[in-house]
Amino acid sequence: MISGSEDTIKNYIDSPSKLKKLYNHVLIVVSISQIFGGAGLAAGITVGALIAQQMLGTDAYAGVPTALFTLGSAGAALFVGRLSQRYGRRTGLATGFILGGLGAIGVVIAAMVNSVILLFASLLIYGAGTATNLQARYAGTDLANEKQRATAVSMTMVMTTFGAVAGPNLVNVMGEFAALIGVPSLAGPFILAAAAYILAGIVLFIMLRPDPLDIAKRIAAYKQQNEHENDSNPVDQKYNKRGLAVGATVMVLTQIVMVAIMTMTPVHMKHHGHGLGEVGVVIGFHIGSMYLPSLVTGVLVDKVGRTAMSIASGFTLLLAGLVAALAPSDSMILLVIALSLLGLGWNFGLISGTAQIVDSTESSTRAKVQGTLDVLIALAGASGGALSGMMMANTSYAALSLTGGLLSLVLIPVVIWSTSNKVKNKG
């Protein structure tokens, strides 16, 4: 049940400064949780494929861990979205992060007992942290106006950078720590992930009060009741559906391309003599590029527009694929550039797509719709992760990267179609 009296809601409506203070509080709390969440998600990205390669003895299934924790994040996205819609962001996000932490603990145990079945089951649960980390970006938009939405998303995402970049660069440290306590070194980053995800959940559960989605729903209901805004415009409803379709397509395509290339980069590097520390550096730059540009990206999406930044995403991902395909295997610099561009293209697509989703939903159904759409994103990532290993085993890393880059160009006609239809409706 949503907390807060009608008088309290009226105070937020009548006092923009009070609502802004709550909005800023929500951004701070979500940002703190994102620092921990970023560290948690980095473990699976950095060493997940290497653990599978070591335990299974083949590259063909090295993409399975990414596929599994991404598949797990699909189910978790639906669960967290519906839980948030019913009980608020605080309950939904805290539950998702704690489940992710329990999954990371399972991965550590699986590595200790050398159980592939337990590893795969734990990775599914670990995916809850990935889904929650992604859905937390929506919490910052609940109390934002239309001109603040992309910026609100970016402010929470940029804080993820601190944990996400630190995670891969602590691979060696956590590996040494794991060895000291009798745990396989590759499982070390998952010890960090377990602690980070559980801390993120605790921060949200304790500090995210009052709940932003609950307040947003009450404000919308109060305004509708008192201003009698019950009219329905069929054109607007159609445009909202189109906005959802375009926003989802942008995020799904960017996720497929990013996950496919990112997943197999550590395996490609290991084949060509790069150590775990070097893998950590490349993935660290990649994750930094996924999140660090967010503050600028959000402002650009709000100022320049969702359409322009979606197109920019497609071209940036194409460039990333080309550089990765053409880079000599021993060139750390070009691999860093390729993976940085890959992260940047994903960043453009995620923030512009998210803004379109928020624009096209109402607070009364927003979390549920967002959770459902994040399922598509997660399934896209699972597909990209699973197919990337098979494609690389049968072709090459260069072919995989080039294919991913070319696939990203599909974004451009989709966005142009959306713009042309929007202009027709206005005419």
Stronger pLDDT, 160 or 227, i.e. the higher one: 160
Stronger pLDDT, 89 or 382, i.e. the higher one: 89
Question: Quick check: 240 and 346 in contact, CB under 8 A?
Answer: no
Q: How far is CA 187 from CA 9, 15, 48, 270, in A?
A: 48, 51, 9, 17
Q: In the chain, how many H helices and how many E strands?
A: 17, 0
- Which segment of 92-101, 161-170, 200-209, 259-268 scores lowest on mean pLDDT? 161-170
- Once rounded to an integer, what is the mean pLDDT over residues 263-279? 84
State the Cα–Cα distance between residues 30 and 213, nearest whole angstrom: 13
Q: Which helix (H) or strand (E) holds 40?
A: helix 16-56
State the Cα–Cα distance between residues 369 and 400, nearest whole angstrom: 32
Per residue in 162-203, pLDDT (tens digit) is 777 777 777 788 888 999 999 988 888 899 999 999 999 999
Q: Is residue 227 very low, low, confident or very high in pLDDT (cuts 50, 70, 90)?
A: low
Q: Tokens 């396989």 appear where?
A: 184
Q: Which helix (H) or strand (E) holds 412?
A: helix 411-426
Question: Quick check: 407 and 285 in contact, CB under 8 A?
Answer: no
Retrieve residue 346's tokens.
């994903």
User: Considering the entire predicted model, what is its pTM?
Assistant: 0.76
Query: How many Cα atoms occupy the beta-carbon half-sphere of 297 within 13 Å?
Result: 30
pLDDT, residue 422, reads 54
- Which segment of 24-28, 34-38, 86-90, 274-278 scores lowest on mean pLDDT? 274-278
State the Cα–Cα distance between residues 154 and 245, nearest whole angstrom: 21
Question: Quick check: 126 and 328 in contact, CB under 8 A?
Answer: no
In this structure, which amino acid lies at residue 376? L
Domains and CATH numbers, the chain: 12-426 (1.20.1250.20)
- Once rounded to an integer, what is the mean pLDDT over residues 48-71? 75
Per residue in 379-411, pLDDT (tens digit) is 887 788 778 888 888 889 999 999 999 988 888
CA-closest candidate to residue 135, choices 203, 64, 57, 82: 82
Retrieve residue 375's tokens.
């399922």
State the Cα–Cα distance between residues 380 and 398, nearest whole angstrom: 21
